[in-house]
């Protein structure tokens, strides 16, 4: 870590964590608007990575599409009701871009690559983050009555397991890490740090369940089950981190952006969560996990 980087990271966390917790407490459009903004900014950085390799994605359309998926899930926060309109939107977006490519990307461009990269950016950012409002509304959909903050517990599960795992991996990796985890993707990450990250994620999963979902009655998430989920989410988060590292290496950049001092860009902060958040929904949907 460069000198002065840790204070900048802490400063961003001091502002960012209360903002996120406040939005989670309020839920609804306050949360949806914040997450939609994050999705749009993440998509913007994704398209910058594509352009660094010579691609020409439809950036503005992709940013709107990413935000739109989150807002659609906010408006209808039940996957069984929101899935069809969201899928229809993605299909319509793909067909629209292919149609526009006739004039904007042919014969001097690459219609297939530009359309594919645009849709990929929408799914990678907006598609993943659309599960935030869905997870926030899950207790209500399951008939759980609780206070607004504990109603956010299913969102906090991937958030805190990822943050705890990332912090544990960072400090243990820097202190005792020796064995490279994925040297071609991220040379700074070590097996020792990765194992510490999994331990941190397991502990965070158990803590979240003990604080809230273990007491959700028929929709309860027991502490041992939550700890097991924490291990899976922690592993998924590390894969997400490595995946974004590969994208940056392919683009030849160190960070996806400069918006967050000490952290880089929005994607640099969301990379692990873009895997962990939809994975949390999938795991919680497995029969027998809740209740």
* Report field, pTM of the whole predicted structure over 0.95: no
CA neighbours closer than 13 Å in the CB half-sphere of residue 268: 18
Q: What is the DSSP string of 2-30?
A: -TTHHHHHHHHHHHHHHHHHHHHHH-HHH
Would you give the end-to-end CA distance of the chain in angstroms? 44
Task: Identify the burial level of 175 via C-beta atoms within 10 angstroms of its C-beta, where 0-12 means exposed, 13-18 middle and 19 or more buried.
Answer: exposed
Q: Are 16 and 270 in contact (CB under 8 A)?
A: no
User: What's the CA gap between 107 and 103, in Å, rounded?
Assistant: 8
pLDDT above 60 for 277: yes
CA neighbours closer than 13 Å in the CB half-sphere of residue 264: 18
Q: Where are the alpha helices (DSSP H) in the chain?
A: 5-26, 28-52, 59-75, 79-104, 111-121, 128-129, 131-141, 153-176, 191-211, 223-251, 266-284
Choose among 125, 290, 276, 129: nearest CA to 200.
Answer: 276
In 3-state terms, what secondary structure has residue 164? helix
Residue range 219-253, pLDDT digits in tens: 999 999 999 999 999 999 999 999 999 999 999 99
Q: What percent of the chain has pLDDT over 90?
A: 82
Q: What is the pLDDT of residue 235?
A: 97
Q: Find the mean pLDDT for residues 168-197.
A: 93
pLDDT above 90 for 58: yes
Backbone angles phi, psi at 14, to 5 degrees: -60, -35
């Amino acid at each position: 870590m460069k000198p002065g980087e840790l204070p900048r990271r802490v400063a961003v966390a001091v502002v960012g964590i209360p903002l996120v917790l406040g939005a989670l407490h309020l839920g609804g459009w306050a949360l949806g608007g914040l997450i939609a903004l994050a999705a749009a900014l993440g998509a913007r950085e994704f398209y910058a990575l594509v352009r660094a390799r010579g691609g020409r994605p439809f950036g503005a359309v992709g940013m709107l599409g990413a935000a739109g998926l989150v807002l659609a899930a906010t408006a209808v926060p039940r996957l069984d009701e929101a899935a069809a309109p969201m899928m229809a939107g993605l299909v319509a977006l793909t067909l629209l871009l292919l149609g526009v490519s006739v004039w904007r990307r042919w014969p001097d461009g690459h219609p297939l690559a530009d359309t594919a990269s645009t849709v990929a950016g929408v799914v990678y950012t907006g598609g993943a983050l659309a599960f935030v409002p869905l997870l926030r509304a899950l207790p209500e959909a399951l008939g759980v009555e609780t206070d607004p903050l504990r109603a956010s517990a299913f969102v906090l599960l991937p958030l805190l397991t990822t943050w705890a795992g990332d912090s544990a991996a960072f400090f243990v990796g820097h202190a005792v890490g020796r064995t490279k985890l994925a040297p071609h993707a991220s040379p700074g990450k070590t097996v020792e740090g990765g194992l510490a990250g999994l331990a941190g994620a397991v502990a965070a999963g158990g803590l979240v369940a003990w604080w809230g979902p273990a007491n959700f009655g028929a929709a309860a998430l027991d502490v041992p089950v939550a700890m097991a989920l924490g291990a899976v989410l922690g592993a998924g988060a590390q894969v997400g981190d490595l995946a974004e590292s590969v994208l940056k290496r392919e683009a030849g950049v160190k960070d996806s952006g400069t918006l967050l001092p000490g952290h880089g860009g929005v994607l640099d902060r969301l990379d692990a969560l873009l895997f962990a958040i939809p994975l949390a929904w999938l795991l919680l949907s497995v029969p027998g996990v809740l209740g």
